[in-house]
Structure 1
Amino acid sequence: MSDVLGRETFESIYAGTPAWDIGRPQRALVEVADRVTGTVLDAGCGTGENALFFAGRGHPVLGIDFLEGPIMESRRKAEERGLDAEFARMDALTLLGLDRHFDTVIDSGLFHVFSDEDRARYVAGLAHVTSPGGRLFLL
């Protein structure tokens, strides 16, 4: 992964509480929740608050993140809250290899961490996993 901020940087940030981990879903996603349909992919889910919000609304959800720590925390939160959500350690730059499709994809702060070259790879992956007529909500 040749992101602008490297893996070590994110591991260091997640050793504490990242500034973006606000303990609830992002307000912008709550505001568009009625426009979210069907299956949801949360790309770069972090500790899962956005994914868990949509799972709580009845959506089948897959949250992916390239770090194991946030994925483990997401799974813990899902179990603690009694929510059915799937979380997997996965690099979002490898979405072309994912044989699944989603009606809605959410990205809260992932796109901007990639280099220009990796953004093109990421967008191609998003196109691959988004169902025809699906929606992308990118913050």
Structure 2
Amino acid sequence: MTTPHPSHWDFDALYRGESPAQGVPPVTTVPWDTKGPKESVVAWQEQGLISGDVLDIGCGLGDNAIYLAQHGHRVTALDISPTALITAERRAADARVDVRLAVTDATELTGYRDAFDTIVDSGMFHCLDDDGKVAYAAAAHRAARAGARLLIACFSEANDDPMRGQRAVSEASVRNILGGAGWTVRAMTPMTVHRPDGVDMGFWLVTAERPPEEAAQ
């Protein structure tokens, strides 16, 4: 039986410890719960790519948002899973940082327009199907201010595992989808993450920009 694409998963069920889709077993801990910021987010912060009002889109358990708040950023963190945000709220309180949390569909971002200078997505883009990616890119463009950056870490074609491979995103696909929504892709850098279980995971680190000249329109 083919494993359902993550775009058809119930991620709140996953965070509750239940099966998110037929054929997908429940887990007691989600595999991306590292209890700390992802390598991609640390790299973006250290490169000075994150500034102003920040949106962490698909924030999950909140560790990236907490890290960014600890570095002085004003952070809004959104996820489709209310269960995940309960943990994110607790972790933010334990870290004594202020992170604005809300349940929101990333393909719509209802209520957010011209609101953010940096949008951070560490691992959500590849979970969407093609239509979802297109809607997401457009929603993020609306939520961003002119001159804002969109920073994405998504699975690349370097992954040869069937489960991850079906979620891999080609360079051409990223450029076409973001470009079609009005983003200018400034850089796409390959990155390899070495998991504790010995599995290497290939990512694209994407830096895109909403053109500054849009402010005059």
2:55 counterpart (41, 46, 49): 41
Pairs within 5 Å for 1:1-139: 4-5=5-6, 6-8=8-10, 10-14=11-15, 15=17, 16-33=28-45, 34-95=48-109, 97-99=111-113, 101-139=115-153
Retained in 2: the 8 A contact 1:96–1:128?
Answer: no
Instruction: State the 1:99 CA deviation.
Output: 3.7
User: TM-score when scaled to structure 2?
Assistant: 0.59
Instruction: State the 1:11 CA deviation.
Output: 3.1
Q: Compare the two structures and name the one with the higher strand fraction.
A: 2
**Cα-to-partner distance string for 1:32-66 (whole Å, 9 max, x where unaligned):** 20221011101100000111111111111010000
Q: Cα–Cα, structure 1 residues 24 and 88, in superposed 2: closer, same or farther, change >3 Å?
A: same
Q: Which amino acid aligns with 1:11?
A: D
Q: Distance in 1 between matches of 2:110 and 2:82?
A: 21
Q: Distance in 1 between matches of 2:61 and 2:85?
A: 6
Retained in 2: the 8 A contact 1:42–1:51?
Answer: yes
For structure 2, which runs of at least 5 residues remain unmatched after alignment? Answer: 18-27, 154-217
User: TM-score when scaled to structure 1?
Assistant: 0.90
Count of matched residue positions in the alignment of Structure 1 and Structure 2: 136
SS at match of 2:109: helix
For structure 1, which runs of at least 5 residues remain unmatched after alignment? Answer: none
Q: Distance in 1 between matches of 2:85 and 2:33?
A: 13
Q: Distance in 1 between matches of 2:64 and 2:145?
A: 20
CA RMSD in angstroms comes to 1.6
SS at match of 1:94: coil
Q: Distance in 1 between matches of 2:82 and 2:13?
A: 13
Q: Distance in 2 between matches of 1:123 and 1:96?
A: 14
Q: Which amino acid aligns with 1:137?
A: L
Pair member with larger Rg: 2
Q: Distance in 2 between matches of 1:40 and 1:7?
A: 27
